[in-house]
Amino acid sequence: MSEIELIVRNKVGLHARPAVLFVQTAQGFQSDIRVLKDGKEGNAKSFKAILALAVNKNDKVVVRAEGPDAEQALIALTKLVENNFGEP
Amino acid sequence: MKEIKGIAASPGIAIGPIFVYRPAELVIHNLQAEDASLEWERYQNAAQKALLELVALRQKVASEVGEADAAIFDAHQMILRDPDLEEELRAEIDTGATAESATEVVFARQVKSFEEIDDPLFRERAADFSDVGRRVLCILTGVQDNALAALDAPAIVIAKDLMPSDTAQMNKAMVRGFCTAGGGPLSHTAILARNLGLPAVVGAGKDVLDLKNGEWLVVDGGAGVVVIGADEQQCNQYQQEADRLAQERATAQAHAHEPAITQDGRQIEVVANVGLPGEEVDALQAGAEGIGLLRTEFLFVERRVAPSEEEQYQAYYPIFDAMGERIVIARTLDIGGDKPVPFLAVPHEDNPYLGWRAIRIGLADPELLKTQLRALLRAGHDHNLKIMFPMIATVEEMQAARALVDEACAELAERGAPYAQTVEVGTMIEVPSAALMADQLVRHVDFFSIGSNDLTQYTLAADRGNPAVALLSDALHPAVLRLVDSVVRAAHAAGVWVGVCGEMAGDPDAIPLLLGLGVDEFSTGVAAIPATKALIRKLSLVEAQALAREALTQPGAPAVHALVKRWMGEH
């Protein structure tokens, strides 16, 4: 199992287009991926679970992956978050 | 009499009884089922059908309204495919619930849990779950949410806001106008109203929802005002104005099939923008003299595998067939960046509008572009095909794209397939660099087509889909007009013609300016064709030229708008 801590810095947080991109990216991997925020946990491949975490700008989340491509999944998701989902 | 000020969304005046649209209630009769696997299958079938509806809606909205509005359907598709949600539905069905009961219970649970979120932004997502759940339930229960489809008398439709799913099924023949409580000038309702040529006021506030069915209302779409309880004299005044406008429209429609010739004898080509198969029929009825922009994205979006040459040929051929000898200008694939095309696996980009899209993708993947070119060349055999490339920014790109046309022709010749052998090749002018380099680009093209929407956005660095900066993104800004002017001069000096295929070409304020700047061809949305032709017939080229010269020296867009309005009043 691998995990990484990320700070979401884009304008709207994990919402709308960024949430779609985050979940789509997670769905591209076989590993089981979880997102944890303030003691709540959600399936990174579930749009509703990610929205329900209500991740806002400057919120800290932990992404945890377990499976054959866990490392790659974390790298991809980190890149997405660190690039602010392409928001200017 | 009470006047409510909203946002002017579509010009014209409508007077009549109102119909307040409130979505139908869904009642579920069968709560329990014996065969869980059958119910699960029913749910999955319904979800699949809903997914197809969403894909279609997304495409429709993307082409009619724009990407920003279409993106909501991406979220809706994600909800339908959500693995956690499927698990909850399956569990509910396993307890003996019918597919519809499970759908209702599980989606209601999501709505409730989202409504409980403190953060208002995330709380609003409850509406998306409610909308998707409703879509599946309508399919499962066979209910057609058809209050708007069942309109059987002329009415002004009032609603909170109309969603694409609402307007898709509306009996548009009975609708006289729109007034919505919410929405802005780029809302779905506003765009639809303009496409239909119906008056509309949006963002009128929630008080309009309290009006009673059958009450009379005046919608003055040009002024952005609705009037409740107008007296007889006021109604008469509005009616006279409405009659005058309707008369103008009817005259335009009656002469739609006649050429657009200015007062001083210059004939202007008026053609249509077409984005979906079947629209060519509407275009012909509206009096289009051809297709000035055939968008081909409908074949590519949402695809996991690129469409084959044969599939593309089959999709293009009927359009050429319907158009006969009229011109059809096909734009090669304008995809990538912000438009989801799964088979391309476009990498994530910080700035998709300035990223890997359109001709850039085509040149990087020549087989993809050549496959499309071969399909177009075959479909255009014995027809009047012209090909243009989107988002050309440099001369080198144009040369490379043109070389691919030659290669595609050679490949077809080798295969012995019939194809359009003398095809004109041109480019869209959407990127300011292309406009500024038009005198160089012109050596490599047979025509230019100015894509005024993107040219405006790129020139003013303002996204017209973003309400915060939309006003800045004004195609009548002298900066845009100067670019159009220099493109036309460069083209005409080389004996090449110039078209405009953005919204500008159908905008009554912009038409005299474009005419005066020397634009040879106007390609507009289908609904705007009769009025565009009618307006051109009223104008004189020489007078429009003087107006255009004056517009080029104005300090900004507001001054140009004022100048045109004053000029139109005098002419």
Residues of B in contact with A23 (CB under 8 A): 78
How confident is the model over B76-113, as pLDDT tens digits?
999 999 999 999 999 999 999 999 999 999 999 999 99
How confident is the model over B256-294, as pLDDT tens digits?
999 999 999 999 999 999 987 778 988 999 999 999 999
Are A17 and B84 an interchain contact pair (Cβ–Cβ within 8 Å)? no
Q: How far apart are CA B314 and CA B465, in angstroms?
A: 34
Residue showing tokens 């699949």: B48
What's the confidence (pLDDT) of residue B66? Answer: 60
Residues of B in contact with A79 (CB under 8 A): 348
What's the confidence (pLDDT) of residue B81? Answer: 93
Q: What's the token pair of residue B438?
A: 């038009």
SS3 B372: helix
Q: Which amino acid is at B496?
A: V
* Alpha-carbon gap: B57 to the closest alpha carbon of chain A (Å): 18
pLDDT at B63 over 90: no
Residue A58 forms contact with B (CB below 8 Å): no
Let me know: does B29 contact B215? Beta carbons within 8 Å: no
Let me know: does B266 contact B541? Beta carbons within 8 Å: yes
Of B503, B1, B535, B552, the residue nearest B262 (C-alpha) = B535
SS3 B435: helix
Find residues 6-45 of chain A whose CB sits inside 8 Å of chain B.
12-13, 15-17, 19-21, 23-24, 42-43, 45
Of A23, A51, A88, the CB nearest to B122: A51
Of B384, B286, B398, B269, the residue nearest B329 (C-alpha) = B384
Let me know: does B509 contact B564? Beta carbons within 8 Å: yes
Q: How far apart are CA B416 and CA B89, in angstroms?
A: 56
Q: How far apart are CA B349 and CA B337, in angstroms?
A: 7
Q: How far apart are CA B107 and CA B85, in angstroms?
A: 9
| Residue B497, φ and ψ in degrees, nearest 5 | -90, 160
Q: What DSSP state is assigned to residue B32?
A: B
Q: How far apart are CA B533 and CA B166, in angstroms?
A: 31
Of B275, B300, B332, the residue nearest B449 (C-alpha) = B332
How confident is the model over B533-560, as pLDDT tens digits?
999 999 999 999 999 999 999 999 999 9
How confident is the model over B463-513, as pLDDT tens digits?
766 667 777 889 999 999 999 999 999 999 999 999 999 889 998 899 999
Are B129 and A23 an interchain contact pair (Cβ–Cβ within 8 Å)? no
What order do you get walking across the sheet with A2-8 strand by strand? A2-8, A59-66, A32-37, A40-43
Residues of B with a catalytic annotation lie at 188, 501
Return the number of CB contacts < 8 Å for A and B: 65
Q: How far apart are CA B433 and CA B440, in angstroms?
A: 11
Which residue in chain B has the smallest CA separation from A11? Answer: B121
Q: How far apart are CA B532 and CA B500, in angstroms?
A: 13
Give the pLDDT band (50/70/90) at residue B339: low
Find residues 348-407 of chain B whose CB sits inside 8 Å of chain A.
348-352
What's the confidence (pLDDT) of residue B555? Answer: 97
Residue B118 forms contact with A (CB below 8 Å): yes
Let me know: does B102 contact B41? Beta carbons within 8 Å: no
Q: What's the token pair of residue B173?
A: 């023949």
What's the confidence (pLDDT) of residue B64? Answer: 59
How confident is the model over A18-61, as pLDDT tens digits?
899 999 999 989 999 999 999 899 999 999 999 999 998 899 99
Which residue range forms the structural domain that includes residue A22? 2-86
- State how far the alpha carbon of B534 is from the alpha carbons of A73, B257, B369, B504, B512, in Å: 59, 11, 38, 16, 12
Let me know: does B50 contact B165? Beta carbons within 8 Å: no
What's the confidence (pLDDT) of residue B338? Answer: 58
Please name the helix (run of DSSP H) or strand (run of DSSP E) that holds residue B479, with its range, or none: helix B478-493
Q: What is the DSSP string of B117-149?
A: -SSHHHHTTHHHHHHHHHHHHHHHHT----TTT
- Better-scored residue on pLDDT, A85 or B521: B521
pLDDT at B163 over 90: no
What chain B holds in terms of domains, given with CATH numbers, is 2-23+147-232 (3.50.30.10), 36-141 (1.10.274.10), 266-570 (3.20.20.60)
Three-state SS letters, B159-195: ECCCCHHHHHCCCHHHEEEEEECCCCCCCHHHHHHHH
Are A46 and B82 an interchain contact pair (Cβ–Cβ within 8 Å)? yes
Report percent pLDDT > 70 for chain B.
94
Give the other-Cβ count within 10 Å of B206's Cβ. Answer: 9
Q: Do the bridges between strand B2-5 and strand B155-159 make them parallel or antiparallel, or are there none, so unpaired?
A: unpaired
Supply the CATH number for residue A24's domain: 3.30.1340.10
Give the pLDDT band (50/70/90) at residue B223: confident
Are A54 and B79 an interchain contact pair (Cβ–Cβ within 8 Å)? no
pLDDT at B185 over 70: no
Let me know: does B15 contact B235? Beta carbons within 8 Å: yes
Give the other-Cβ count within 10 Å of B365's Cβ. Answer: 14
How confident is the model over B359-390, as pLDDT tens digits?
999 999 999 999 999 999 999 999 999 999 99
pLDDT at B409 over 60: yes
Give the pLDDT band (50/70/90) at residue B246: confident
Residue showing tokens 């953005």: B502
Residue ranges of E strands in B275-418:
290-294, 327-331, 384-389
State the ipTM, two decimals.
0.89
What's the confidence (pLDDT) of residue B337? Answer: 60
pLDDT at B164 over 60: no
Sign of CA dihedral B400, B402, B406, B409: positive
Of B75, B117, B118, the CB nearest to A16: B75
- State how far the alpha carbon of B409 is from the alpha carbons of B59, B307, B380, B416, in Å: 31, 19, 12, 10
* Alpha-carbon gap: A5 to the closest alpha carbon of chain B (Å): 21
- The answer to whether residue A15 is catalytic is yes
Q: How far apart are CA B530 and CA B511, in angstroms?
A: 13
Q: Which amino acid is at B114?
A: F
Q: What is the Cα B138 distance to its own chain's centre?
A: 27
Residues of B in contact with A51 (CB under 8 A): 114, 122, 125
Q: Which candidate in A25, A35, A46, A82 is best for mutational testing of the B interface (most B CBs within 10 A)?
A: A46
Mean pLDDT confidence for B171-194:
79
Give the pLDDT band (50/70/90) at residue B6: confident
* Alpha-carbon gap: A2 to the closest alpha carbon of chain B (Å): 22
Are A84 and B350 an interchain contact pair (Cβ–Cβ within 8 Å)? yes
Q: How far apart are CA B331 and CA B359, in angstroms?
A: 10
SS3 B329: strand
Are A15 and B125 an interchain contact pair (Cβ–Cβ within 8 Å)? yes
| Residue B416, φ and ψ in degrees, nearest 5 | 80, 20
Q: What's the token pair of residue B506?
A: 């159908």
What's the confidence (pLDDT) of residue B248? Answer: 86
pLDDT at B65 over 60: no
Q: How far apart are CA B215 and CA B2, in angstroms?
A: 13
pLDDT at B520 over 60: yes
Q: How far apart are CA B220 and CA B13, in angstroms?
A: 5
For chain A, how many structural domains are there in total?
A: 1
Q: How far apart are CA B494 and CA B258, in angstroms?
A: 30
SS3 B267: strand
Average pLDDT of the residues of chain B: 89
Half-sphere exposure (Cβ direction) of B327: Cα atoms closer than 13 Å? 21
Report percent pLDDT > 70 for chain A.
99
What's the confidence (pLDDT) of residue B189? Answer: 76
